[in-house]
Amino acid sequence: MRINQFIARCGVTSRRGADKLISSGCVMIDGRAAVAGDQVDNTTCVLVNGKRISLPEDYSVIAYYKPVGVTCSEKDSHAERLVTDEINSDRRLTYAGRLDKDSEGLLILTDDGALINAMMKSSEMHEKEYEVTVSGSISDEQLDHLSRGIYLKELGIKTRPCRVRRINSKTFYITLTQGLNRQIRRMCASEGLKVTKLKRTRVMNILLGDLQVGASRKLTEEELKRLYSDCGLHRFDDRNLM
């Protein structure tokens, strides 16, 4: 596999972060400086900042209920609580699709870089479902507008059509296949609606279910098989890593 993919799968950093490490000369392959596009396998001696790395024997994939007030970031000097500090793990876990500080709900965290990249690939149209509550009553016309797609002037883009289902006069479910910055809040604002609560309830086949706020759990074997399959990947124990 490519060196940046290898570094990401080893849980050191993202592919983009790996590219930066390579360009800055921090990566060595069998005694020479790595260059972008180098091919390696688990028998290759790869050093990052002088430390040898190798693919893990297994990967960790967990579901976490992010509370309001927790920031999705590994480093932020202005954040009071970081998601990486809230999870008790000795591994570098990365989230697939951030939630803003004022939102809550399901995050999928893993040290499998290939899974993260596959889940985040916009062209694959992977679904994420949210429960949205607004400050005033929402009309059927407004829900219809949201479902058809909203042009967001500040981003210069029209959102994809999506599924919307009413719960009551102020609350509805919305299922998106893209992840623009503060997308739901921007969409609602364009319809004159102020979001008072935003909770992600599903990521692909993984449900928030009865997971408690701030709690986390490992995915079941059935959930993992479906998740990897829907991402076009094999499980770690039988995938062709090289």
Over the chain, what is the mean pLDDT? 90
Residue 236 placed within a domain: no
Q: What is the pLDDT of residue 122?
A: 85
Query: Does residue 237 fall inside a structural domain?
Result: no
Distance CA 112, CA 105 (A): 21
User: What's the pLDDT tens digit per position in 22-69?
Assistant: 999 999 999 999 999 999 988 899 999 999 998 877 888 999 999 999
Give me the sign of the Cα torsion angle 94, 222, 64, 149: positive
240 domain residue, yes or no = no
Q: How many helices (H) and strands (E) does the chain have?
A: 7, 15
100 assigned to active site: yes
Name the residue range of residue 78's domain. 61-122+209-230
* Cα–Cα distance for residue pair 104/100, rounded to 1 Å: 8
The residue-averaged pLDDT of 183-209 equals 97
Q: Are 45 and 163 in a shared domain?
A: no
- Spatial separation of the C-alpha atoms in residues 22 and 20, rounded to whole Å: 5
Give the whole-angstrom CA distance, residue 118 versus residue 96.
Answer: 9
Q: Which residues of 144-183 are buried (b: 16+ CB within 10 A; e: fewer)?
A: eebbeebebeeeeeebeebebeeeeebebebebbeeeebb
Nearest to 64 by CA among 121, 110, 18: 110
Inside any domain, residue 241: no
Full-model pTM: 0.80
**Active-site residue, selected from the candidate residues 19, 30, 76, 100:** 100
Task: Specify the pLDDT at position 239.
Answer: 41
Q: Are residues 17 and 35 in the same domain?
A: yes
Continuous segment of H or E residues that includes residue 9: helix 3-9
Domain limit, last residue, from 11, 33, 53: 53
Give the mean model confidence (pLDDT) for residues 196-205. Answer: 98
| pLDDT tens-digit map of 80-116 | 888 878 887 777 788 888 899 999 999 999 988 888 8
Share of the chain above pLDDT 90, in %: 68
pLDDT tier, 145 (very low <50, low <70, confident <90, very high otherwise) = very high
Give SS3 for 27.
strand
CATH number (domain holding residue 138): 3.30.70.1560
**181 strand-pairing partners:** none
The answer to the question of residue 33 being in a domain is yes
| pLDDT, tens digit, 9 for 90 and up, residues 208-240 | 999 999 999 999 999 999 999 999 987 654 443
